[in-house]
Every structure is written in structure tokens, then in C-alpha cells.
Amino acid sequence: MVSKRNPDELLKFIPARDSPPYTLVVVYGERSIGDFWTFPDDGTVERVLGAIAKVMPSILTLDDVKRYLESLDKPSERVNRALEAYQSLVKLREVRPGEGLPYKYEPPHLPGWKDMMIGGAIPGLKPNQRNPYFTGGTAKHYRPVINFDKCIKCSLCWEYCPDSVFDVTPDGYFNPALAYCKGCGVCAEVCPVPDTIIMVDEMEFEDGYGKFIDEYRAWKENREAYRKWFESLLPKAQVISVRKR
Amino acid sequence: MEVVGTGTDAVAYALMLADIDVTSAYPIRPYGGVMQTVARLIADGYLKAEYIVAAHEHDQFEIVKHASAVGARTFVGSSGVGWLLAIEAIVAISTDRYPVVALIGNRALDDPPGAYGVEHNDALMVRDVGWLLVWVDTAQEALDTTLIAYRVAEDPRVMLPVGISMDGAFLTHSEHVFKIPPKSKVQKFLPPYDLGNRKLHPSNVISVAPQVNEDWVTEIRKQMDEAMKNARKVIEEAYRDFAKIFGRDYGNPFVEPYMVEDADVVMVGMGTVSKPIKEAVRRLRAKGERVGFLRIRWFRPFPTDDIIRYLSGVKVVAVVDRDYSFGSPFDGGAVFTEIRSALYEAEHRPLMMNFIGGLGGREITYNDAINMFNMALDAARKGRVEQRVIWYGVRE
Ligand code: SF4
Ligand code: SF4
């Protein structure tokens, strides 16, 4: 894992497993979704290779890594990244079965050919309805936090969210069902009112998978407390294009 | 009403009777005649339909796919490499399960302008991807089959596209006398197109053609498999109703047997090759030779039961392929290979010969057919086939 946090902190966000113990290796650095097609070249691969050479030289030695990276384009940049990881803080932590975030993975139920609409067509969802299997797991990096005090109920977040995360409240607000959110930031991008949907690092929250806070209810219950909480998060929010506009 | 017209005219009249909503056109020989006649029918006020001229065949087939998705009865068509230019849209039409009806004016596959003449490989290219395929041999059959095609394609048990194959030049451009039935009868035969809960409409919110990967594709194919199997029954029902309503009975919907009872040698073919072969059968029968002909109409779904019924008791089966399947199990034609496979489970397996003939539009005359029969009769007498695949008339 590439992170600036230490293993104990990270374990609060890593789902527990029943499987045999494993070693959590943390490579110091800005976390990323490197090697995902969106950021193919942010150095994650090189850093991970450097870390492997450090902790498991029996699999891969530093020389192997260097030789490989030198065969690619921009070799010195790549080797430097691998060396960074190799030389800097590589932290190890044994993780026992059951340690971590209590979370039970439920494989989605896939319908049989007789139950599917023909041609793979998919019935549309009604408002507040969503596919129970399309949860975000523990995968999202950022979560949307809504400032209901500023919301003008334009509905754009609801309409644009690719995962139909928002519930329509009786008084016309849009409340994210965070278990389904993938953290893509589209809602924050389309919201026309600055600082009304902010994207905040998921690791700022410890409400955990499966018991995410209900933002709308929290706001309804105590607007003053919610406002303070929102303001405390504001400086930590991701800068997204709409806020620059 | 009886009229004189070409094979493609006959299809155009059927489209008028079926009251199609959208057609997209892009010119290519020999299918092109149908788009001209449809345009005239629209201009003269006999048909009210959207006539969309596409930029190329890929657009052409995409247009009808989308029109079909919103509930329009559609018609499209092409020939040879034009048909293949549309292949992405063609497979999308069947995997999305839209009952588009297409005319394939069969044409050889060559670097255009290449050959204009008939060959069946263009239509056969889609034999494995969920299109129903039918071959016709007269203008009347073309008209009737077009009506039957809509009925079968749009049946909720099928919902697959149909390709109607018509031999380029020999049928697309030859004049025939044919009957145009009254629209009232067509309305009795062909219910309105109803996509049910799959109709794309603001009042019916659905997603179609989603990204599907390994989680879904097997199930989607299985649905298509079931639909293709259902089509056999639906085709039978359609021909039965057709005979009742229009008074024209095609007998067996899938194959046309011609003097096959008691035959020692049966020739098999698709399309207009039926004409010279039937003439040869008559002449040889007059001399006392026990020969017959079996014309395959529906190639997909393949009429396995009928092939076994009509061919398993015969001494020699000689298949005339106006196509080829290079590198296939016996280096023969596609029809030959399919029939051979169908007969594998038959109680009595006949000897089999394959004539590759009539490629690129080369004519097969009744003298050619008599020659082929004589070779097959010779094999029947000897009880063995000396040359399995014969490139008939190839210049040495
Ligand atoms: S971040 Fe993306 S997935 Fe989450 S609520 Fe916003 S638009 Fe939907
Ligand atoms: S996009 Fe912003 S302003 Fe519009 S409804 Fe959503 S939160 Fe409110």
C-alpha cells in the first residue's frame, strides 16, 4: 500500500479477512490509484517494485528492478522512484485473521438467463431505488459531504451521479447513500453552488463501511452541529474545478 | 393484384404492405433496386415511412438498430462487401435483439468494384451470430417471405433479425409476375410491432446495450440460443397461418423437396440454382433416372430434421454450393459441410458430393446440372465417391 499513514491507522480502513495472516507493507508516499488507466504513469508501479525489493528480495532484487526499469522509457526517473521506496520508510505489520474493519463481502447475485431482460437490457431505477449489489465496498477515496444550508435543490447532483447514490428527501434535498458512492466527484463537479458539495478524504471519517452517517438526517437533527462539522471539513476538501471557477 | 416486377420490387411491395416505419438506404449493387422502389412508393404516397440515406453501410445498419429500439418497424439491406462493412452494427442488432429485416442481394466478396455477381458468402458471414437466414428463388416467394420474416422476427419468442437472401442479378434484376395481396389480409397475418417492456421511451426507462463482460455474455448468448431454437416452431406457425390467410401453401417451410421420393440421387442447393436443377430433374426423370432436388430455404435455423428426413435414405447427396469455406473439414462449401454434419446422426448416411459452382455470378445451366447429376449417378452405381469436392467448370 502507498500511504503517508502508519499501518495501525490504515487497518481501520482495511476490511478484515478470514484468510491466513498476511503482511501489510506500507510504502511512504502520496496514495494513488497508479496503474489504473486514469493515471498510468504516477510512479506507483516503480515504488511498489522498489518496496518488494526491500521486503522480499527473494522474489525480486533491487538489481532486477533496476534492470527492468532501465529497459523502459524515462529510466532514471523510474529508477529514482524505485530507490525512494527502497530507501525510505517501508513499514511492515503482521495482520491476523479478523483484524481490520468489520466488513463482510457479499458477492453480487447475478440473475440467470431466464430472469434477465432479453439482450441484457436493464430496467431503469425509480427515485430512491438502487441495485443493492452496486455498493462501493471500501474502495472510494473521497466522499461527498453536502452543505444543505446552501443547497438550491437544483437536482443536478442526483441526475449526474453515475451510481444513483442520491435519495430524494421529502423536502426536495438530495442525500447521498454513502455505501453506494464510488467517490468519483461528479456530483461536486456539477453542483452550481460553490462549496456545497465537497469531496473529503475518506480517511477523515471513521464511521466505517456499512454504517455510514446519514448526512441529511444529521443536518435535520442539529443544523448548528452539522454546520460546524462541515466547516471543519472544508479546509480538507479536494480542490475541484468548480471551486476554481 | 398481379404485377410484373423484379425480385427487389417484390420485397419493396411487401414493405409497403408491412407498413414499415423506417428504412435506411445506401446504394450498392445488386440490393440497390429495393431502395429505389421503396423511394418511389413513398414519393407516390403508397407508403408512409422515414427514408434515411446513410453515409455508408455501417451508419445504415446503426440507424435501423436505433429505430427498432424505439419501436419502429425497420427495413435495411446491402450486398457483398457493403453488408460486411456494416458488420459491427449487424452483430449489435442481433445481440441487442432487435427484429430488423434485411435484404441481402447476394454478391461475391472481392475488393470493390470486384465482382457484382452472386455468391452466398456475404450472407453466410453472419450465420453464427444470431441472424435468421432465408433464401428465396422467385419474386413471389420474396414478397411472401418478407411478410413472414417480420412475423417471425417480431415474435416475442424470437426477437432476432432476419436476413433474406436473394441471388444477385438472377433474382434481384429479373422480371417476374407476382401477386400483391390486399393489405387487409396482411394486417390479419402480421400483428403490429411490439417491443413490450424493451421499448426505449421516456415513459419506459430502461438501459439497453450496457457494457457486458464475462458476468453477462454467456447468459445473453444462451438467451439468443433459445430464441433461435424457438424460431423453428414460430416459422412453422407463420407458414401455416400464411397458407390459411393468403391461400398460398409452401408446404414444408424450411426446405422445398422436388421429386425426392424414391430418388437415388438428390441434389441440394439454395436460391435460384433451383431453376436449372429442376429442369434437369424433369429431363432425367423422363429418361427414367431416379433423381430429385432439395432446396434449402431456411439456413438459420438449420433444418436438421428435414435434412435427415429427405436425405438419409438416398444413395448419393450432391450439394451445390454457391459459396466456399476455405479450409473447412473437407475443403468444401458451407452448405455441404452443414449437411454432412446434420447427417452424422442419421440412421443411414448417404454418400456425399459437393459441387462448388456458379461463383461470382457464373451461370449454372440445366446442362451443367445434368452433368452434375450424371457424376452423382455414376457414384451411386459404383457405390463410392471418387472425388468428394468438385470445382465445377473451373478452368484448368
Ligand atoms: S462522488 Fe460520484 S458516486 Fe459519489 S455521490 Fe457523487 S457522483 Fe455519485
Ligand atoms: S447540485 Fe448542489 S445545489 Fe443542486 S441539488 Fe445537488 S447539492 Fe443542491
Mean pLDDT of B42-67: 98
Topology adopted by domain B255-391? Rossmann fold (3.40.50)
Mean pLDDT of B331-339: 98
Q: Using a 6 Å CB cutoff, which residues line ligand 1?
A: A 144, 161, 163, 165, 176, 181-187
Task: Give residue A190 CA to ligand 2 midpoint distance, Å.
Answer: 8
Across the interface, whether the CB atoms of A121 and B207 are under 8 A apart is answered: yes
Q: Domain boundaries in chain B?
A: 2-246, 255-391
Model ipTM value: 0.88
Across the interface, whether the CB atoms of A119 and B212 are under 8 A apart is answered: no
Give chain A positions within 8 Å (CB) of B129.
none
User: What's the rounded Cα separation, in Å, for the pair B85 and B89?
Assistant: 9
Could you tell me if A156 and A73 lie in one domain? no
The pLDDT assigned to A132 comes to 77
Task: Give residue A149 CA to ligand 2 midpoint distance, Å.
Answer: 11
Mean pLDDT of B279-300: 98
Integer angstrom CA distances of residue B64 from B35, B130, B227, B322, B395: 14, 17, 21, 29, 43
Any domain includes A125:
no
Any domain includes A126:
no
Dump pLDDT digits (tens) for A117-135.
Answer: 999 999 888 888 887 777 7
pLDDT band at residue B113 using 50, 70 and 90 as cut-offs = confident
Give yes or no for residue B357 having a pLDDT over 80: yes
Q: Do B255-391 and B2-246 fall under one CATH topology?
A: yes
- pTM: predicted TM-score of the whole model, two decimal places: 0.85
> Which position has the higher pLDDT, B108 or A133?
B108
Q: Assign A39 to helix, strand or coil.
A: coil
Q: Which domain holds residue A29?
A: 2-95
Give yes or no for residue A244 having a pLDDT over 70: no
Any domain includes A27:
yes
Q: Domain count for chain A, please give it.
A: 2
Q: Which atom of ligand 1 is closest in space to residue A182's alpha carbon?
A: 3
CATH number (domain holding residue A158): 3.30.70.20
The pLDDT assigned to A240 comes to 61
Q: Assign A5 to helix, strand or coil.
A: coil
User: What's the rounded Cα separation, in Å, for the pair B336 and B314?
Assistant: 15
Dihedral (CA of B357, B293, B388, B379) sign: negative
A109 touches B at CB < 8 Å? no
Mutate to test the pocket of ligand 1, among A140, A142, A164, A182 (most ligand atoms within 8 A of CB): A182
Picking from A109, A113, A122 by the largest number of B CB atoms within 10 A of its own CB, the best residue to mutate is A113
Q: Vertex A119, ends A118 and A123: CA angle to 5°? A: 65
Strand order in the sheet with B132-135: B50-53, B22-25, B74-78, B101-106, B162-167, B132-135, B298-300
Any domain includes A182:
yes
Q: How far is CA B230 from the centre of its chain?
A: 18
Q: Which helix (H) or strand (E) covers residue A218, if one does?
A: helix A215-221
Could you tell me if A89 and A180 lie in one domain? no
Dihedral (CA of B107, B110, B111, B117) sign: negative
**β-sheet bridge partners, residue B52:** B24
Q: Spell out the residues 6+ positions from residue B30 whose beta carbon is closer than 8 angstroms to its own.
A: B8, B79, B105, B106, B107, B116, B118, B168, B169, B172, B173
Q: Vertex B224, ends B221 and B226: CA angle to 5°? A: 115
The pLDDT assigned to A210 comes to 59
Give yes or no for residue A6 having a pLDDT over 90: no
Comparing C-alpha atoms, which of A148, A211, A225, A218 is closest to residue A178? Answer: A211
CATH 3.40.50.970 is held by the domain B2-246: yes
The pLDDT assigned to A35 comes to 44
Picking from A116, A118, A129, A134 by the largest number of B CB atoms within 10 A of its own CB, the best residue to mutate is A118
Å between B208 CA and nearest CA of chain A: 4
Could you tell me if A70 and A150 lie in one domain? no
Any domain includes A76:
yes
Query: Do B207 and A125 meet the contact criterion of CB atoms below 8 Å apart?
Result: no
Of A95, A114, A148, the last residue of a domain is A95
Q: Assign A82 to helix, strand or coil.
A: helix
Mean pLDDT of B133-149: 98
The pLDDT assigned to A11 comes to 87
Mean pLDDT of B76-91: 98
